[in-house]
Every structure is written in C-alpha cells, then in structure tokens.
C-alpha cells in the first residue's frame, strides 16, 4: 500500500481578512499615486516645451536682391565704312590688345579712290609749277615795262597790260593752290576710309560677342553696324534691382557681397557705389538699380552671370544669439538711437554719405528655464536681428536655456478659466 501524505493544516480564520485588507490598501495607494502623477503634470512647467541654449555666433541683417554681372569697361566695335566684311581675325574669347587687327572690309573701292586722288594731286602740283613759272615771267615783264616807262621808252598801255597779266597769273596761282589743298583734304578722307577698312581694337580686353558674319555686307549710311564687342573682364560691375520697400535701407559705401550659381557658396565682397534715381517699373513693381564693382583678376566671373546679392545693413561678430521663435512681445520702450558706421567713398570720389542715426530695436521677453525646473519670464534687449535669430545685448547669459517652442505631441498651454463675474 502506498503511504498517503498528511493533510496540510488550514490557516487560522483571522488571517484571510488581513490579507484582503493589505491588498486593498496597496491597490488604493498605487491608484492614488498614479492619479496624483497624472493630475500634477502642471507641477513641472518645463514639461511639453522645447529649449534652445543661448550661444555665441555671427549674425547679419541684410537686404537681398538678384543681379547680373557685366564688364565695367567695354566697347561695341562697329564699321565706319560700308562694304563686304572680308575677314574676321578673332573669335569669341580671343584676348586682344589695343591696336590689334579684328576684321577687314573689302577695300577695293577705297583703294581706287585713294589712287585717283593721288594722281589728281600730282597733276595739280605739276600745274602749280607751270603757274609759278608764268607768274615769274609776268613779274619780269612788268618790271621791264616799268623801267622803260621811266625812260619814256614805252607806252602806258603796254605797262598796264603787263601789270594786268601779272595780277591774273598770281590769281590763277592762288586758285590752283586752293584746289590742291582741296584735293589734299579729299585724299586724307580717302586714306582714312581705306584705314577704316581695317578694323582695329580700340582697347585691350576679351572678345565677348560677335554679331556680324564673314561675307556680310555692311551699310553705314543707314546705321552704324556693330561687328563685335571687346570688354575688359578684369573688373566686373554687379547691377541689381532693389524693391522700393528696401531701397531706403541702402546707403552708399555699405558693405555687400554676392554669390553665383555653381560658385559653391564663395562670397565676392564689394561696396555699394551707385544707386540710380530713376526706377524701372515691371508689372507694377518699382525697382531701383544699385551697382558696385568687383575685381576679377582670375576671370572666374563672366558676363551675364546671375548674382545673389546681400547688402549688409548691420552685422555683429561673436554675439549672443537666440532664435526668433523664442521671442515674445515685451514691454514698450522709447527707441534709442545708435550712430551708424561711416560709409566709404562713392564711385566718382564724392564725399561719403551722411551717417545719420539708426533706431535701436525694441525689447522682448523670453522664458528661461531655472535650475529648479521652473520657467522665468525675462526681458531682454536685442541688437541685430534677421529672420532666424537675434542678438541679445542684455538680460541673458551664455548657456541659459530658453523656450523655443512646444515639444512634439504636446498640446498648447491653455489659460486657466476664470470664474464668471456676478
């Protein structure tokens, strides 16, 4: 027979109510703690917010505009005489010096005119020698008749005829000299036209465009035809169009820079040199031309390049910065004024523009995280600001954490409901 185990002793009847009471107490305590945790979420005011640390960096307040690049110095080379364009000796991109041969116009007609003028001039100069000899002979005959008349060996009529012949010969000599001068002037014009058939470069530079074609007939009687353009690419002019809303923020001599497409963010510095007073109106938008020059020693900048231009209105280096999202409207304060930086000279060497005085930015309020986790509203004074961040002049220290927005998934804080007034 298999031995059977002894039956376990049953617990006393008083232990069961005690266990149930302990379990109920533990459940009540846990639920109460959970409810307190859920209901006391406002005990940590920093929960549900994003923070940004105030740190140092550089900031610029700029006016942006789009511009194009053009050579500062260029010449449109045209034809001064009509004829067929016989030969073009350069191509686009050719580097030329002043006086280099660019193109040739058929000079057959102009050469024939020069030859004819030279032949006619030689004929007139031969006639001049004959006239001079006749004048000499007439002068001798007049003196002879005058001497005979003194000895009463001739008649007065013969003396008068000799005098008239001398005066006529002298007049014909003067007329022939004037005719020679006229043909010399004609010859100079024909020789100039013959030289104009060879088109020379008026300046040193680069051939940037050719508008005529070899074999084309040029007619200068109607309009001066342009054959090509020679430009000095060592200095480029940036021409930008600034809207009327921003033109008042610009001043002559202010620092500026621009970038180009494909320039990998390279900045080209410059200074504003000219603001044209007459605007251009496009689709009811008023735009003013602002220009400045930039050196181009390596030839990296080319004609008609698009430039993204930034006119620096104000800037700060190693400044304490906070994001614009952290700023809240602050108390009103009467604006202060701060002296603007002096500007440089103008393109024409005129005196710098007056500096004037610039109003300081208004104050704002930020919420700063304290060491105990609470949030403190603090008034700060701002300096230079752009669309992303602003410079803090006072009221905040580097490294302090400021509220920059709501945390992901957090609901916007609501104001406590006020009891209705009776």
- Residue 255's domain is classified under what CATH number? 2.40.30.170
Alpha-carbon distance 37 to 15, whole Å? Answer: 33
Kindly state whether residue 294 falls inside one of the protein's structural domains: yes
pLDDT score, position 127: 93
Same-domain check for residues 325 and 394: yes
Same-domain check for residues 280 and 344: no
Same-domain check for residues 322 and 308: no
pLDDT score, position 361: 54
pLDDT in tens, 20-53: 666 666 666 555 544 444 444 445 666 678 888 8
Kindly state whether residue 279 falls inside one of the protein's structural domains: yes
- String of DSSP letters for 224-269: --EEEEEEEEEEEEEEEEEETTTGGG--TT-EEEEEETTSTT--EE
Q: Counting Cβ atoms within 10 Å, is residue 372 exposed (0-12), middle (13-18) or buried (19+)?
A: exposed
Alpha-carbon distance 292 to 239, whole Å? Answer: 7
Task: Kindly compute the dihedral angle of the four CA atoms of residues 164, 167, 168, 174, in this order, to the nearest 10 degrees.
Answer: 180
Percent of the chain predicted with pLDDT > 70: 77
Same-domain check for residues 339 and 401: yes
Contact 300, 244 (CB under 8 A): no
Same-domain check for residues 323 and 394: yes
pLDDT score, position 174: 94
- Residue 361's domain is classified under what CATH number? 2.40.420.20
Same-domain check for residues 305 and 341: no
Alpha-carbon distance 150 to 144, whole Å? Answer: 10
Same-domain check for residues 322 and 296: no
What is the domain extent for residue 324? 49-58+318-406
Q: Which of 292, 313, 334 is the C-terminal boundary of a domain?
A: 313
Kindly state whether residue 238 falls inside one of the protein's structural domains: yes
Same-domain check for residues 300 and 242: yes
Query: At 297, phi and psi to the nearest 5?
Result: -65, -30
Same-domain check for residues 346 and 274: no
Same-domain check for residues 390 and 336: yes
Higher pLDDT, 358 or 349: 358
* pLDDT higher than 60, residue 348: no
Q: Kindly report the length of the chain.
A: 422
Same-domain check for residues 302 and 334: no
Task: Specify which residues 205 forms β-bridges with.
Answer: 96
* pLDDT higher than 80, residue 210: yes
Task: Specify which residues 136 forms β-bridges with.
Answer: none
Residue 11's pLDDT band (boundaries 50, 70, 90)?
low
* pLDDT higher than 50, residue 357: no
Q: Which of 291, 313, 335 is the C-terminal boundary of a domain?
A: 313
Residue 308's pLDDT band (boundaries 50, 70, 90)?
very high
Kindly state whether residue 221 falls inside one of the protein's structural domains: no
Kindly state whether residue 388 falls inside one of the protein's structural domains: yes
Kindly state whether residue 80 falls inside one of the protein's structural domains: no
CA atoms within 13 A on the CB side of 137: 9
pLDDT in tens, 118-157: 999 999 999 999 999 999 999 999 999 989 988 888 888 9
* pLDDT higher than 50, residue 364: yes
Alpha-carbon distance 7 to 3, whole Å? Answer: 13
Residue range 315-339: mean pLDDT, rounded: 71
Alpha-carbon distance 96 to 213, whole Å? Answer: 19
Same-domain check for residues 161 and 183: yes
Q: Counting Cβ atoms within 10 Å, is residue 128 exposed (0-12), middle (13-18) or buried (19+)?
A: middle
Contact 208, 118 (CB under 8 A): no
Alpha-carbon distance 193 to 204, whole Å? Answer: 23
Q: Is 335 helix (H, G, I), strand (E, B) or coil?
A: coil
Q: Which of 281, 313, 345 is the C-terminal boundary of a domain?
A: 313
Contact 378, 394 (CB under 8 A): no
pLDDT in tens, 335-345: 443 333 433 33
Count: domains in the chain: 3
pTM of the model: 0.65
Kindly state whether residue 21 falls inside one of the protein's structural domains: no
Alpha-carbon distance 394 to 44, whole Å? Answer: 28
pLDDT score, position 336: 41
Q: Nearest CA to 384 among 317, 337, 330?
A: 317
Kindly state whether residue 212 falls inside one of the protein's structural domains: no
């Amino acid at each position: 027979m298999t031995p059977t185990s002894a039956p376990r002793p049953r617990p006393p009847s008083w232990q069961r109510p005690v266990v149930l009471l302990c379990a109920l107490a533990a459940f009540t305590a846990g639920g109460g703690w959970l409810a307190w945790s859920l209901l006391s979420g406002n005990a940590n005011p920093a929960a549900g917010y994003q923070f940004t640390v105030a740190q140092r960096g550089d900031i610029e307040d700029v006016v942006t505009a789009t511009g194009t690049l053009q050579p500062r110095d260029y010449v449109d080379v045209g034809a001064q005489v009509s004829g067929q364009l016989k030969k073009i000796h350069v191509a686009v991109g050719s580097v030329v010096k002043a006086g280099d041969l660019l193109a040739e116009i058929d000079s057959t007609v102009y050469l024939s005119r020069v030859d004819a003028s030279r032949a006619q001039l030689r004929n007139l100069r031969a006639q001049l020698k004959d006239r001079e000899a006749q004048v000499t002979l007439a002068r001798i005959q007049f003196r002879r008749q005058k001497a005979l008349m003194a000895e009463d060996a001739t008649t007065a009529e013969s003396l008068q005829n000799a005098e008239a012949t001398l005066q006529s010969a002298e007049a014909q000599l003067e007329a022939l000299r004037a005719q020679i001068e006229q043909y010399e002037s004609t010859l100079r014009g024909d020789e100039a036209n013959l030289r104009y058939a060879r088109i020379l470069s008026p300046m040193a530079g680069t051939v940037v465009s050719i508008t005529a074609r070899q074999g084309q007939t040029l007619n200068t009687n109607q309009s001066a035809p342009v054959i090509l353009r020679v430009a000095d690419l060592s200095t480029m002019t940036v021409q930008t169009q600034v809207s009327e809303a921003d033109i008042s923020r610009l001043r002559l001599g202010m620092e500026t820079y621009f970038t180009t497409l494909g320039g990998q963010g390279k900045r080209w510095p410059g200074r504003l040199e000219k603001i044209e007073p007459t605007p251009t109106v496009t689709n009811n938008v008023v735009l003013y031309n602002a220009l400045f020059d930039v050196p181009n020693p390596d030839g990296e900048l080319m004609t008609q390049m698009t430039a993204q231009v930034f006119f620096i209105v104000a800037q700060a280096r190693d400044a304490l910065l906070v994001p614009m999202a952290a700023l809240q409207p602050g108390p009103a304060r009467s604006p202060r004024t701060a002296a603007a930086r002096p500007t440089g000279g103008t393109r024409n060497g005129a005196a710098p523009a007056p500096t004037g005085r610039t109003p300081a930015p208004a104050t704002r309020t930020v919420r700063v995280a304290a060491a105990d986790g609470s949030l403190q509203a603090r008034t700060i004074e701002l300096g230079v600001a752009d669309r992303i961040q602003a410079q803090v002049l006072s009221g905040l220290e580097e490294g302090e954490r400021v509220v920059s927005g709501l945390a992901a998934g957090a609901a916007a804080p609501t104001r406590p409901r006020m009891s209705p007034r009776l």
